[in-house]
Structure 1
Amino acid sequence: MRTTHLLYLHGFRSSPQSAKARLMAERVRRDHPAVSWCCPQLPPSPAAALALMRELTADWPRESMAVVGSSLGGCYAARLATETGCARTVLLNPAVQPARDLARYIGEQSSWQDPAQSFYFRPEYIDELRAIEGGTLPHPGQCLAIIAKGDEVLDWREMVARHPGVQLRLLEDGDHALSDFESAQLDAVLTFLQLA
């Protein structure tokens, strides 16, 4: 069955204005206008972010729903896929231990895309992240993970080990942002998603 509903989840300090989110939105609108596209601005609270994702997808058909997540959004996407059993999942350099990795970011943070936009990352968000981490994807064969060995933020070995059995595109170099996303990864993602 083709994907009719697509949720894109951005990473920490990112937004729907990230390069990957904008590229995906543009291609979906241009080539797959029948697909319901959703790329929300996620709140800093992981619990609130998960609640928003659940609300936005509550009436989506699980058998034709897909979720794409980048970095922290990848952790959220894996959690949502585990909860919903959605048809397809794409993880782009997914965070696998965000409670550990984001503990040093407690305090005032600014957005990558608009430094004038800021938020406060609260200490209790670390416990919220711990509650989201863990669990294994119910259908790893329905997941594509694109992981760059050159990721300067996350350890590629941890990412690979965290999601065994997925369809893996392991990039020999690359970076955390997947700077080659448009030229080298986007078509593979769209092919995997089988958009209507």
Structure 2
Amino acid sequence: MTTLVYLHGFLSSPLSQKAQETIAWMTEQGLASQLICPQIPMHPIAAIELLRELIAPLKGDFCVVGSSLGGFFATWAVEEFGGRAVLINPAVQPYALINQYLGPQQNYQTGEIHHIDASFADNLRQFERKPSRLQRYWLLSQTGDEVLDYQAAVGYYQGCLQTIESGGDHSFIGFAQWLPQIWAFANTPFENEIDVENLK
């Protein structure tokens, strides 16, 4: 059975609302053992090392659900190891935005202080991957995202399955209702044509 890997965003954690909703839903379905929801290290190189350690053993039988910066890492994971990715308001070229966050930054859930410097952008840049197997990706974006330009994601993931909702915000309002479809997408054979409306 497919493993779902939930990757939280920048300055976030598994305590975030979407991560907790994913944990709760998978548990309710009796699928808790099929979920990995790690605390991603702040430093990009450490983050990639952890993801490599967690994802490589899954041998392509996984789906990464990546929120914001987690979507950036999710794309790297699929290009590196196969599997699928569901991208929730993903960060596209996040290294271009790092100047807004230089200096001490506080994790939204844990309160931990992280110090961001210019090398953070350079480290992120080396893990950028362009989606090459378009059928492996599903973009979920809301046009009201106040942190990231949703149109950047629409362009970057052109040709991939896309669901764009009007309004909303960066947190992706109503995420929990999509979890049944996300799990169905994660378990759809690659050769099958995917229609979001029929994912149950």
- Fold-level similarity (TM above 0.5): yes
The equivalences for 1:167-186 within 5 A come to: 167-183=161-177, 185-186=178-179
Identity score, percent: 36
Superposed displacement of residue 17, structure 1 = 0.5
* 2:92 pairs with 1:99: no
SS of the equivalent of 2:78 reads: helix
Aligned to 1:128: 123
Structure 1, unaligned runs of 5 or more: none
Distance 1:36 1:138 in 2: 26
Query: Which residue of the other structure, out of 47, 52, 55, is the alignment partner of 1:54?
Result: 52
Moved beyond 6 Å, runs of 4+: none
May I ask how many residue pairs the two structures share in their alignment?
188
In structure 2, how many angstroms separate the alpha carbons of the residues matched to 1:179 and 1:21? Answer: 13
In 2, Cα distance between equivalents of 1:8 and 1:76? 11
Task: Report the Cα distance in structure 2 between the residues aligned to 1:173 and 1:194, rounded to whole angstroms.
Answer: 29
Instruction: Output the amino acid matched with 1:41.
Output: Q
Distance 2:131 2:94 in 1: 17
TM-score normalised to the size of structure 1?
0.89
In the alignment, is residue 163 of structure 1 matched against residue 161 of structure 2?
Answer: no
Aligned in 2, Cα 1:34/1:109: closer, same or farther, shift over 3 Å? closer
Partner Cα distance (1:173, 1:190) in 2: 24
Whether the 8 Å CA contact 2:85–2:138 is kept in 1: the answer is yes
TM-score, normalised relative to structure 2: 0.88
1:190 maps to a residue whose letter is W
Counterpart in the other structure of 2:71? 74
Structure 2: distance between partners of 1:32 and 1:124: 42
Bigger relative contact order, structure 1 or 2, given CA contacts below 8 A and separation 6+?
1
Structure 1 partner of 2:6: 8
* Stretches of structure 2 lacking an aligned partner (at least 5 in a row): 189-200
